[in-house]
Amino acid sequence: MYYVYVLQNPKGVLYKGYTNNLEKRLEQHNSNNGFVSYTSKRGPWKLVHKEKYENENEAKEREKFLKTGKGREFLKMSIGRLSA
């Protein structure tokens, strides 16, 4: 099972990703234990959206879509607020 997820920080910035272990990945995004990522110094992050997929290819395609203009519009309607 794979998950596509969207995180939001206190400034309203959204981060989109996919993983096969959502709990571990969220912990990594919010930790300061040497995990290097775009999110490491921009948190704390909270989960605002998630979707479940059967395989990695489906999850990758959905993540890619969410990073497009139409995907951002979908998230704006789904989450209610979208930061630039």
Task: Between 84 and 51, name the one with better pLDDT.
Answer: 51
On the question of a cis peptide bond just before residue 10, with omega within 30 degrees of 0, the verdict is no
Let me know: does 17 contact 5? Beta carbons within 8 Å. yes
Is 44 buried (19+), middle (13-18) or exposed (0-12) by CB count in 10 A?
Answer: exposed
CATH architecture, domain 2-79: 3-Layer(aba) Sandwich (3.40)
pLDDT at 84: 41
> What confidence tier does 7 reach under pLDDT thresholds 50, 70, 90?
very high
Q: For the chain, give every domain's residue range.
A: 2-79
Supply the mean pLDDT for the chain.
88
Confidence (pTM): 0.85
Question: 74 by DSSP, 3-state: which?
Answer: helix
pLDDT one-digit tens code per residue, 53-78: 999 999 999 999 999 999 999 998 88
* Chain length of the chain: 84
pLDDT band for position 45 (cuts 50, 70, 90): very high
